[in-house]
Structure 1
Amino acid sequence: MKQGDIIIYGCVIIGAGVGLVFDAAFPGVLIGLGVGYVIQYLTKGEDG
């Protein structure tokens, strides 16, 4: 499993948890997924 995948999965889980607090788990998952892709892009570096 790649490091980028772990970042995305972690953000999805955190987003789902925050979404459950606000009774909106699915939108939380989608927001976490988007944030995960942005973080993966920003941490990619020049070699990737």
Structure 2
Amino acid sequence: MKQGDMIIYACVIIGAGIGLMLDQAIPGVLVGLGIGYLIKHGLYKDKEQ
């Protein structure tokens, strides 16, 4: 598993946890997924060709 993918999965799980606290799990997962992709893109932007 690539480190960039682990960042996305971690953000999804954190988003799901926050969403469950607010009784909105699915939107929390989607927000976490979006944030995970943004973080991955920001960290690995220079390494991709």
**TM-score, scaled relative to structure 1:** 0.94
Unaligned runs of 5+ in 1: none
Moved >3 Å (runs of 4+): none
CA-atom RMSD in angstroms: 0.8
Give unmatched runs, 5+ long, in structure 2.
none
What count of residue pairs does the alignment treat as equivalent? Answer: 48
- With normalisation by structure 2, the TM-score equals 0.93
Cross-structure match for 2:25:
25
